[in-house]
Amino acid sequence: MKRQPASTRSNGAGQRNGRRPVTLIPGDGIGPEVIGAAVRVIEAAGVAVAWDRQAAGAEAMRRVGTPVPDALIRSLKRTRLALKGPLETRVGEGYRSVNVYLRKTFDLYANLRPTQSFQGVPTPFRNVDLVVVRENTEDLYAGIEHQVTPGVVESVKVITAHASRRIARFAFEYAVRNRRKSVTAIHKANIMKLSDGLFLKCARAVARNYPRIRYQEQIVDAACMRLVTDPQRFDVLLLENLYGDIVSDLCAGLVGGLGMVPGANYGDRGAIFETVHGTAPDIAGKNIANPVAAILSAAMLVEFLGYKSRAARIRSAVEATLRTGRSVTPDLGGTATTSAMTDAIIRAMR
């Protein structure tokens, strides 16, 4: 097995009194509720973390006049790790996405979203077990836009060999470490022959170094159709930034929604673990938000810190709670509050 890359393991740097410093970004809307649940579960698992709570997004805008305060950046530079809730980003106006800004600032080039079916979750799909690996730093998310003339706007898609090679290596290394069988590169190279063509050329070159992992390619629209008709045929999905954003949400729909899927952003010098769902302002403060995505993201953080067995305990407790269906939130067909579901998961851990 190849050596695990730095982007998916912690070196324990900066520990204080046996506690690993981690930046805590509760987020906007339901963020403080679900991230609060995740913190409770981490503490119940016996993982020693020194939380450095920081504001971002709309909350920070209200408090200090910027969605990305200097204190947040200083904290992230010091800890190189964060657990983050959803952040508000207005559509078509306002400040740029804080999520995109943080990923680019800290070169968190790999977005990882494991997507798995759980017994007891109401969905017509069964036995889904796939992983989305999304390039995080370029493509149309480079944010290069300008107005050519009134009524005509250009947005530039940027694909580089460097970014394409390293995200492909990340996907194959993940497949090797986790005993996955295949990596499928998803693209639109039949239309974007230069940009997506370069992405494919790099993926093919990297694939040759991993002969035990089956390499496949799929046009993005065909892949979406096959994902909703036969998701079991997929294993690890390798995608550019925009396709990865869209396809990862589609995959979440296979297993019960965005409230069921964890997420992580990895770079060579750190990582941010986050919920992939939105702020859900309509239910914020009502204590009925599904905490599973945040708790599973916390499990990814716990594993990154080196506590693999404790991360497994958290995942098993989530699975057991969902299977019984007795203490689940309304989106999962139950009547439990966020707090009550978190209590049930903690009891299942014990």
- Is-catalytic flag, 221? yes
Alpha helices by DSSP H, listed for 229-349, are 241-254, 292-304, 308-324, 338-349
- Is-catalytic flag, 70? no
C-alpha triplet 252, 159, 9: angle, nearest 5°: 55
Query: Which one from 107, 129, 249, 343 is the annotated catalytic residue?
Result: 249
CB atoms within 10 A of CB 275: 32
Q: How far apart are CA 115 and CA 235, in angstroms?
A: 10
Query: Which one from 245, 266, 307, 331 is the annotated catalytic residue?
Result: 245
β-pairing, 271-275 vs 236-239, is unpaired
Among 85, 78, 79, CA closest to 58: 85
- Is-catalytic flag, 230? no
Query: Which one from 77, 201, 221, 286 is the annotated catalytic residue?
Result: 221
Cα dihedral 275→279→285→291 (10° resolution): -20
Query: Which one from 95, 107, 129, 188 is the annotated catalytic residue?
Result: 188
- Is-catalytic flag, 188? yes
Among 305, 270, 264, 263, CA closest to 80: 270
- Is-catalytic flag, 52? no
Query: Which one from 28, 109, 141, 210 is the annotated catalytic residue?
Result: 141
- Hey, which residues are catalytic here? 141, 188, 221, 245, 249
